[in-house]
Amino acid sequence: MPQLRPHHFLCPLRLGGSLPAVSLILAAALASGCVTTEPPPLAEPLEELSREVPEAPASLAPTLTPKLIPVARYGRYTLVELAPSAAQHDLLLQVINVAIPNTSHATVGDALRHVLRRTGYRLCAGTADDLQALPLPAAHYQLGPLMLHDALATLAGPAWDLHVDEAARRVCFTPVSRCGAVTDNDARVRTPGTTGKAPETPASTTLLDEVVP
C-alpha cells in the first residue's frame, strides 16, 4: 500500500498564478471575521416592573378561608356531600305527596292529621275547632307534591293563620282579623251583577196599607 504524504490532503488553490487575487481573498476573509454584532438589549428586570404596579391596600385583601366540605364517593364519578339537606334543617320544607282517604264525611281536621303523619308535627289540642269541623273540599283529597308549609296553608285557606311551635313541634291555626267580616245575620243572597243591597222603593209608589181613611 503506498504511503500517504501530508501534501496529498491539501487542495492547492489555483487562481492562475495570480498572487494579488489570493491576497484580496485573504483580506476579505479577515475583514468579515472582524465584524461583530451587538447583542439585543436585555429586558427590564422583573423587580423594577413589579415596583411600578400599585399594591392593593391591606383592607381589600381577600380574607376568605377555605371551607372543608366532606364528601363520600359513590361509584366511579359520583361524590355525595356529607351534609343535611334543607328539608332536614327545616321540617316545614319537606315535600309531601298524599291522598286523603275518599270518604263522604272527611273534614279539614281529618286531612290535617293525615298530612302531618310522619312529619314530626302534630295539631294543637283544642284549637281551631271551627276549622277542623269544616267539610273537606274535593280539590283537597289529593295534595302534592308540595312542601309541608304550603300543604297546611292550602288546607286551612286564607281565613286562617298558620303558627308553628318548633319547641313542641305543634301546628296551630288562628283566625285572621275579622274586621269587616260578614256575619250570618248580615248575609244576603246575591246574584251575579247585584250589590247585595235591598231594592229601594220608587218614590212614586204609595202603599195602600198606610192610607188612613
pTM for the full model? 0.54
C-alpha–C-alpha distance, residues 119 and 130, integer Å: 24
In-domain check, residue 66: no
pLDDT in tens, 131-172: 999 999 999 999 999 999 999 999 999 999 999 999 999 999
In-domain check, residue 129: yes
More confident residue, 187 or 143: 143
pLDDT category of residue 188 using cuts at 50, 70 and 90: very low
pLDDT in tens, 75-103: 889 998 898 999 999 999 999 999 999 88
In-domain check, residue 157: yes
The pLDDT assigned to 192 comes to 44
The pLDDT assigned to 19 comes to 60
Q: What are phi and psi of 33, to 5 degrees?
A: -75, -25
In-domain check, residue 159: yes
pLDDT in tens, 102-115: 888 999 999 999 99
**pLDDT of 173 strictly over 80:** yes
Q: 140, 111 in Cβ contact below 8 A?
A: yes
**Domain extent for 106:** 87-175
The pLDDT assigned to 22 comes to 63
pLDDT category of residue 31 using cuts at 50, 70 and 90: low
Q: Which helix (H) or strand (E) holds 47?
A: helix 46-52
Total tally of structural domains belonging to the chain: 1
In-domain check, residue 97: yes
In-domain check, residue 23: no
Q: 155, 112 in Cβ contact below 8 A?
A: yes
**Average pLDDT, integer, range 44-51:** 54
In-domain check, residue 100: yes
In-domain check, residue 7: no
